[in-house]
Structure 1
Amino acid sequence: MTKRHSQKYKIDRRMGENIWGRPKSPVSPGRREYGPGQHGQRRKGKMSDFGTQLRAKQKLKGYYGNISEKQFRAVYDEAVRRRGDTGEQLIGLLESRLDAIVYRAKFVATVFAARQFVSHGHVKVNGRRVNIPSFRCKQGDVIEVRDKSKNMLALLEAIGLAERDVPDYLDVDHTKMTATYARVPNLGDVPYPAKMEPNLVVEFYSR
């Protein structure tokens, strides 16, 4: 098992949910439903409000490649400064990340692979190469796989994955390997396999 898969499965086990909807997740139907480690099968008491809020934050942060707390807090602070519902703004900002869009466009199989794909310089935004996974895309931006990378086996395999669809806030052309960020999504637009609760994240940071 690669380090990336191990990290992804560890997050699933800790959350007790298959947060990416992957069929090989350790918490998929028919697999273990208890927590990791030698004490994982112990009976759990009712979680406190703080614990519930913390888990919501960890789950959302983990979903986007387990980004650092510093990065995640910076995104939250930006959401607070914007007009409108802070939870919705938070989701919109996270989905505007370049690595998130590369993943949603099915250019890669996982969020973790998206970060690596961008970092290795395989992606252009509006014709310019960008290798920063956290780069924030704007409505109308065109994300394109570089010509030299369009025949990568991992890319072609990801496009063929049947377990997830491209959301309607992206206009994707897999023949040209391009994706246009058509609009900033709301929470209800984002195809999360597991329930995400940004309102609890807001409560966590507002304590």
Structure 2
Amino acid sequence: MSKRIEAKFKINRRLGANLWGRGKSPLARGKENPPGQHGQRRKKPSDFGTQLMAKQKLKGYYGNIGEKQFRRLYDEAVRRRGDTSENLIGLLESRLDAVVYRLKFAPTPFASRQLVNHGHVRVNGKRVNIPSYQVREGDEISVKTKSKDLALIVEASQSPERDVPDYLEVDHKDMKGKFIRIPKLADVPYPVQMEPNLVVEFYSR
């Protein structure tokens, strides 16, 4: 088992949730003990603990985003008009690595980030290697021609584990897609319940 896979499983176990809904996760097989040699009994969390857990789940889901970067997204969500929690989800789902993952060009958010970092992804025909790049409505996202036959990408596109949400369009034959609109929380196919309202409460303390 690779260190990368082990790290993802550690996030699942620490948060007590199969974040990406994958069958390979220990939690999907009923192994629900928290981290530690014998596991630990979970006490009822405080309000702060509940809010912190909601933040950690959201950060973890998008490839374990760093705190500074996540806080910048929150600050931008506050600055924008409308509901802050909905704005936060929209900003997270507009990240290039998130869009690549949603289009099923990568099996996990971690793999998606790596594909972007290594220059395999194009936005409107231009190479973009910044995972946090904010995709705009109408942008076309494609896989570099020489990368279309990579086993990782082909297998992800053919995987029955998840569907492409309706705020995106995709053509897996040509490995390209379009970001149609910024989604709301209810539009995003999270395998577990996400509570961005608690994240807003956490930062508003």
Q: Same fold (TM over 0.5)?
A: yes
Residue of structure 2 equivalent to 1:179: 177
Following the alignment from structure 2 to structure 1, what is the Cα–Cα distance between the partners of residues 82 and 12? 31
Residue of structure 2 equivalent to 1:162: 160
* Deviations 1:11-64, CA, capped at 9 Å, x for gaps: 100110101000011111x42222011251x32221100000000000000000
Q: How does 1:83-162 map to 2 (within 5 A)?
A: 83-162=81-160
Structure 2 unaligned residues grouped into runs of 5+: none
Letter in 1 for 2:32: E
- Matched residue SS, 2:178: strand
Residue of structure 1 equivalent to 2:69: 71
The TM-score, its normalising length taken from structure 2, stands at 0.98
Q: How does 1:11-30 map to 2 (within 5 A)?
A: 11-28=11-28, 30=29
The TM-score, its normalising length taken from structure 1, stands at 0.97
Letter in 1 for 2:183: P
- Matched residue SS, 2:138: coil
- Matched residue SS, 2:26: coil
Following the alignment from structure 1 to structure 2, what is the Cα–Cα distance between the partners of residues 86 and 168? 22
How many residues matched?
205
Residue of structure 1 equivalent to 2:59: 61
CA RMSD of superposed structures (Å)? 0.8
Following the alignment from structure 2 to structure 1, what is the Cα–Cα distance between the partners of residues 123 and 74? 24
Between the two proteins, what is the percent identity of the paired residues? 66
* Deviations 1:47-87, CA, capped at 9 Å, x for gaps: 10000000000000000000100100000000000000000
Range moving further from structure 2, 128-137 or 30-39: 30-39
Residue of structure 1 equivalent to 2:37: 38
- Matched residue SS, 1:27: helix
Following the alignment from structure 2 to structure 1, what is the Cα–Cα distance between the partners of residues 68 and 128? 21
Following the alignment from structure 1 to structure 2, what is the Cα–Cα distance between the partners of residues 91 and 160? 26
Structure 1 unaligned residues grouped into runs of 5+: none
Following the alignment from structure 2 to structure 1, what is the Cα–Cα distance between the partners of residues 147 and 31? 38
Following the alignment from structure 1 to structure 2, what is the Cα–Cα distance between the partners of residues 110 and 66? 12
- Matched residue SS, 1:137: coil
- Matched residue SS, 2:169: strand
Following the alignment from structure 1 to structure 2, what is the Cα–Cα distance between the partners of residues 39 and 84? 46
